[in-house]
Structure 1
Amino acid sequence: MSDFSEMTEAFEQARTAPDVTDRASGLEEADRIGGVALVQARLQGQGAEECEECGIEIPAARRRAAPWAVCCIDCAQIREARRG
């Protein structure tokens, strides 16, 4: 089963759950599945289309040059500066 279909199923279960606790459990499961998929993509060297810091789209040229990038160049420079 794909991550997307698992997430869809978890969201549907949360949407139709009879009580708040079951809804919360369904949403938590969907969030967990999404997080696992993101980690797997990063381990495979896949980056992101949007910067995880500022949310803007990472330019195609940056994604081609650094396919593993998860931040735009400005945010990546800020991260590096913070690291020292």
Structure 2
Amino acid sequence: MSLHGGRRTKDEQDAFVVELGYALFSAVFAAGVVFGAVVGPALLFDLPGAVESLLWQGGKWLAVVLLAARVISVLMRFRRAAQPSQPGRTNPDS
């Protein structure tokens, strides 16, 4: 919602779309790096079946949790930044 309680302006919608794209891209990248770091030893070395399975499962779940946490944190930070510091007053930079 916009700061005045009505519908979002086109600029606000565009800013949200850009922020959502950044959140998704950075989350997928971070999750991929973590997944690769956790699963990498299972691909490089001949490990026992239980250890290899544990690394695959752990990497998968850690990547999913990191992806969700990253998207949520970026969007929450964007939401907080959209709030005026002094309601009812104009921004001195405007």
TM-score interval, smaller chain: 0.3 to 0.5
Would you tell me which structure has more helix in proportion to its own residues? Answer: 2
| Structure with bigger gyration radius | 2
Q: TM-score, normalised by structure 1?
A: 0.41
Q: Which has the higher contact order (CA 8 A, sep 6+)?
A: 2
